[in-house]
Copies of this chain bind each other. A is one copy, B any other.
Amino acid sequence: MVGKDITAELRKRGFKLTPQRKAIVSVLGNCSEHLRPADIHERLHKKYPGIGLVTVYRTLELLQENGLLCEVHIGASCRSYLKRHRPGEHHHHLICRDCGRVEDFTDCELDRLKQRLERETGFLISRHLLEFMGLCPQCKIKKA
């Protein structure tokens, strides 16, 4: 999913397409790393000075509530975001601990484990969080 799709999705849901929102979406869309609100704000300043950090927070909240971006948890600030490549589709992340690059994968093969845990613990499981962390191919070579 590229920025264009996100803005189209926003319009479809009746939100206004302000230059600020477009700018934030484009920063996320041109980036394969996870970014914190302050990172996004900093990158915006180069191209679009004058956008407030508050607007970044509000836009991130809007995009997240509408399922247009995802959060990353492992090894980063808890408030790290990423554009969503496949909106609506269940997926997980593979994160490079050196460069921060993120890859998606969809098949998490967790159904069997989920069923076993429900049987063994009596819990009713509704969702899960799965992230892998390591080195991406490029960073693997640099390290060697």
| B134 and A126 contact, CB distance less than 8 A | yes
**Residue from B73, B109, B128, B137 within 8 A of A123 (CB atoms):** B137
On whether A128 and B133 interact (CB within 8 A), knowing A94-B117, A109-B112, the answer reads yes
CB of A43 closer than 8 Å to a CB of B: no
How many copies make up the complex? 2
Q: How many A residues are at the interface, by size bracket? A: 35 or more
Cβ < 8 Å to B, chain A residues 87-144? 94, 96-97, 103, 105, 108-109, 112-114, 117, 120-137, 140
Q: Give the dominant DSSP class at A's interface.
A: mixed
25 A-B residue pairings within 8 Å (CB atoms): A73-B129, A74-B129, A77-B78, A78-B78, A78-B79, A94-B121, A94-B123, A94-B125, A103-B123, A105-B120, A109-B112, A114-B132, A117-B132, A122-B140, A123-B135, A123-B136, A124-B140, A125-B133, A125-B134, A127-B133, A128-B130, A128-B133, A129-B130, A129-B131, A129-B133
Closest 9 pairs between A and B when the two form their complex, measured CB to CB: A78-B78, A122-B137, A125-B134, A73-B73, A74-B129, A124-B135, A126-B134, A129-B131, A128-B132
